[in-house]
Amino acid sequence: MAVLAATVFLRKGRQSGVSADAAAFETLFGDSAQACALSDAHGAVRAVNAALAVASASTGEPAPRSIAEALALWSDAPEALAYRLIRAAVSRGVAVEELPGAGTAPGYRISARRAGRDALLWTVHLCDATVSHARNDANALIERLPVALARLAPDGTILFANAAARALLGPEAAPGAVIGRLVEGLGRSMETRIAEAMRGDASGRPEIARAETGGREVFLQVSLTRLTIDGKDSLVAVFADATELKTLEAQFVQSQKMQAVGQLAGGVAHDFNNLLTAISGHCDLLLQRHEQGDADYADLIQINQNANRAAALVRQLLAFGRKQTLKPKVVNLVDALAEISHLLNRLLGERVSLRIVHADDLHLVKVDERQFEQVIMNLVVNARDAMAGEGEVTIRAANIRVAAETRRGRAVMPRGDYVRLDVIDQGSGIPAEKIDQIFEPFFTTKKQGEGTGLGLSTVYGIIKQTGGFIFVESEPGKGATFSIYLPRCEREVQPVAEPRRVAPPETDLTGRGVVLLIEDEAPVRAFAARALKLRGYEVLEAANAEEALDLLEDPSLRVDVLVSDVVMPGMDGPSCVREARRARPDVKVVFVSGYAEDSLKRSMDGLDNCHFLPKPFSLNELTAKVKECVAS
- DSSP secondary structure string, 133-176? HHHHHHHHHHHH-SSEEEEE-TTSBEEEE-HHHHHHH-TT--TT
CATH of 2-128, one of 2.60.120.280, 3.40.50.2000, 3.30.450.20, 2.40.30.10: 3.30.450.20
pLDDT at 16 over 50: no
Closest CA relative to residue 46, chosen from 60, 66, 26: 66
Say if residues 85 and 95 touch (Cβ distance below 8 Å): yes
Say if residues 514 and 558 touch (Cβ distance below 8 Å): yes
Domain 329-487 has CATH 3.30.9.100: no
pLDDT at 391 over 70: yes
- DSSP secondary structure string, 191-232? HHHHHHHHHT------EEEEEEETTEEEEEEEEEEEEEETTE
Residue % of the chain over a pLDDT of 90: 17
Mean pLDDT of the chain: 80
CA gap 601, 32 in Å, rounded: 93
620, 622, 628, 632: CA torsion to nearest 10: -170
> What dotted CATH number matches 249-313?
1.10.287.130
**Domain map (residue ranges) of the chain:** 2-128, 145-241, 249-313, 329-487, 514-631
Q: Indicate whether this model's pTM tops 0.75.
A: no
pLDDT at 397 over 90: yes
| Structural element, H or E, at residue 510 | none
Closest CA relative to residue 467, chosen from 357, 360, 594, 371: 371
| Over residues 173-196, mean pLDDT | 85
Domain 514-631 has CATH 3.40.50.2300: yes
pLDDT at 440 over 60: yes
User: What does the pLDDT read at residue 319?
Assistant: 57
CA gap 225, 314 in Å, rounded: 57
User: What does the pLDDT read at residue 28?
Assistant: 59
- At residue 318, the 3 state secondary structure works out as helix
pLDDT at 451 over 60: no
**pLDDT category, 590, cuts 50, 70, 90?**
very high
**pLDDT category, 357, cuts 50, 70, 90?**
very high
pLDDT digits (tens, 9 = 90+) for 283-336: 888 888 888 878 888 888 888 888 887 877 676 666 555 455 567 888 889 988
pLDDT at 263 over 50: yes
> What dotted CATH number matches 145-241?
3.30.450.20
Residues 6+ apart with CB under 8 A from 571: 544, 545, 546, 579
CA gap 336, 328 in Å, rounded: 13
pLDDT at 361 over 80: yes
Identify whether 431 is preceded by a cis peptide bond (ω within 30 of 0).
no
pLDDT digits (tens, 9 = 90+) for 179-189: 888 888 877 88
Geometric angle at alpha carbon 240, from 235 and 244, rounded to 5°: 155
- Identical fold for domains 2-128 and 145-241, yes or no, is yes
Say if residues 260 and 274 touch (Cβ distance below 8 Å): no
